[in-house]
């Protein structure tokens, strides 16, 4: 891909939009196979309308080496057998860092390096730093949609198989008065 020319991107934090727009991705429940602890509950949700769990809107910066793309993810509020709705989560195969800026709602950033687990509370204005080598997943733990801006190296890549193989160390469950982190096997 040839480098692109400089251009301005209009970032509307209130509306959680970037313009001009690049590709928008929609992840439905059926796209999250093998990620929730309760497979039967996941399957029932797929059969019952296969809801959109999150959307990712990108700017037109290409995902190519040395470029610096951005995207805004919005995760709907919901649970599957008590587990908070979340992104699939991935590892960057080239082990490159990334930042997330929380915009709306109440979320969290779950990170796992295969050994250690880290959780960052994400409320509007929080920048979460994802160091190289840490798989990352976003979780909506609030009562409304949770949105955040991501800025990441264009050549980082997205390895979703890593999470299917290694998990994310913890699962996030909704409780009576909030949420709780539980070990992955539970």
Binding site for ligand PAN (CB under 6 A): 27, 56, 71, 73, 87-90, 98, 136, 138, 150, 152, 156, 158
Shortest distance in whole angstroms from residue 176 CB to ligand PAN = 28
Which region among 16-24, 80-88, 98-106, 173-181 touches Zn ion (by CB under 5 A)?
A: 98-106
Tell me the DSSP string of 55-109. Answer: EEEE-S--S-TT---EEEEEEPP-EETTEEPB---BB-TT---EEEEEEES-EEE
> How many residues at the interface with Zn ion, by CB under 5 A?
1
Which region among 37-45, 57-65, 79-87, 94-102 touches Zn ion (by CB under 5 A)?
A: 94-102
Residue placing its CB nearer to ligand PAN in the complex, 90 or 166? 90
Decide: helix, strand or coil at residue 2.
coil
Residue 40, φ and ψ in degrees, nearest 5: -65, -40
Residue 131, φ and ψ in degrees, nearest 5: -75, 160
Name the one residue in this structure whose structure tokens are 């997205």.
158
The answer to whether 72 touches 12, Cβ cutoff 8 Å, is no
Q: Report the partner that residue 173 touches, choosing among ligand PAN, Zn ion, none (CB closer than 5 to 8 A by kind).
A: none
Residue number of the CB closest to Zn ion reads: 98
Q: Report the partner that residue 87 touches, choosing among Zn ion, ligand PAN, none (CB closer than 5 to 8 A by kind).
A: ligand PAN
Which region among 7-15, 50-58, 91-99, 169-177 touches Zn ion (by CB under 5 A)?
A: 91-99
Shortest distance in whole angstroms from residue 61 CB to Zn ion = 15
Decide: helix, strand or coil at residue 161.
helix
């Amino acid at each position: 891909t040839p480098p692109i020319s400089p251009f301005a991107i209009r970032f509307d934090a209130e509306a959680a939009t970037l313009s001009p727009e690049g590709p928008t991705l929609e992840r439905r429940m059926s796209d999250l196979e093998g990620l929730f602890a309760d497979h039967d509950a996941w399957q029932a949700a797929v059969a019952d309308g296969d809801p959109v769990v999150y959307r990712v809107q990108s700017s037109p910066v290409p995902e190519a080496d040395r470029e610096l793309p951005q995207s805004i993810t919005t995760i709907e509020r919901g649970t599957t057998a008590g587990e908070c709705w979340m992104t699939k989560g991935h590892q960057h195969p080239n082990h490159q860092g990334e930042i997330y800026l929380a915009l709306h709602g109440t979320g969290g950033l779950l990170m796992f390096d295969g050994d250690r687990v880290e959780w960052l509370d994400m409320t509007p204005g929080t920048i979460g730093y994802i160091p190289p080598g840490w798989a990352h997943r976003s979780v909506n733990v609030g009562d409304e949609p949770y949105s955040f801006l991501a800025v990441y190296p264009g050549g980082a890549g997205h390895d979703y198989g890593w999470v299917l193989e290694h998990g994310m160390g913890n699962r996030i469950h909704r409780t009576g008065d909030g949420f709780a982190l539980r070990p992955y096997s539970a």
